Amino acid sequence: MTVSAIGLGCMGMSQSYGPSTGTRDDHIELIRSAVDQGVTLFDTAEVYGPYVNEELVGEALAPVRDQVVIATKFGFAFNPDGTQSGLTSRPEHIRAAVEGSLRRLGTDRIDLYYQHRVNPDMPIEEVAGAVKDLIAEGKVLHFGMSEAAAATIRRAHAVQPVTALQSEYSLWWRRPEEEVLPVLAELGIGFVPFSPLGKGFLTGKIDAATEFTTGDIRAAIPRFAAEAREANQAVVDLLATIAAQKDATPAQIALAWLLAQKPWIAPIPGTRRPERLQENLAAADINLTEDDLAAIEDASAKITVLGARYPEHLEKMTDL
């Protein structure tokens, strides 16, 4: 699978970061503008909303469906009122989920179908087998995994080759480097970092005085507590120093750093603002030299990031 250097994460248009000042039409226009600017990878999931984000992405991309890669995800169970009721990756659930996603996206195939979170109660071989069947039927083109550990990736890949892994990765969350990235390199699996801008923190637009609105998940994340933000400002200061030398922004340096790590990394920053979209995409044109990368590495090694990246109940859903 070949995609643009930087994709677009669409989750924030429907949830997680508080009320949007934009309308649904504004979001459709933003997605279509991303296409016009060369973006080919668009990320959504059935749980975003739930459901409404897939409908939004499907409508926005309908005129250019054959020019783009749509990635969506399965792996959550839902109550009758639409709220989450835990993880599930039973084969029968996967089959029902794909039909729902195809309908909401208005398409006949899903280009990249991720297991949203590894379900410890379901052998990963059965999950991979279920997706393999969907690929044989043409309803899915590629299998992906999210927040999966190295050993789990190996087991799944042995049943159905994994095209891409999606996990959080940025200058302030580097755990994938320990075990996951070496396995991806060995097996030829692409990597799609989500939250590549640290849920907005690495843009430099958030500080210790920032107040999060109702419905903003960052209000409950330990890493975004006021004292943690104050301590973690050192990461932003580092990015700002490099940015000043490159006539760039901290966000652009954060994304350029990711792109410089491996040629098969395609981050998916999200935004609801046209000017931020343009800023993010321009990061692909920034060249960080070996000296730049060495300076970032040396400086970041001296910084200890304060606070967990998720509340405890969400961290338990990861396989890392």
Q: Can you tell me the distance from the alpha carbon of 278 to that of 271, in angstroms, rounded to the nearest whole number?
A: 10
Residues whose CB is less than 8 angstroms from the CB of residue 169 and which lie 6 or more positions away in sequence, other chains included: 176, 191, 193, 194, 196, 258, 265, 267
Cα 118 to chain centroid distance, Å, stands at 16
Q: How many helices (H) and strands (E) does the chain have?
A: 11, 9
| From 48, 113, 114, 169, active-site residue | 48
DSSP assignment of 3-71 equals --SS-EE-GGGTSSB---SS-HHHHHHHHHHHHHTT--EEE--TTTTTTHHHHHHHHHHGGGGGGSEEE
Q: Does 17 qualify as catalytic in the annotation?
A: no
CA distance 41 to 5: 9
Cβ-proximal residues to 165 (8 Å cutoff; 6+ apart), any chain: 144, 145, 146, 148, 153, 180, 184, 189, 190, 191, 192
From residue 311, alpha-carbon distances to 96, 199, 205, 277, 319 in Å are: 30, 14, 22, 28, 15
Active site residues: 48
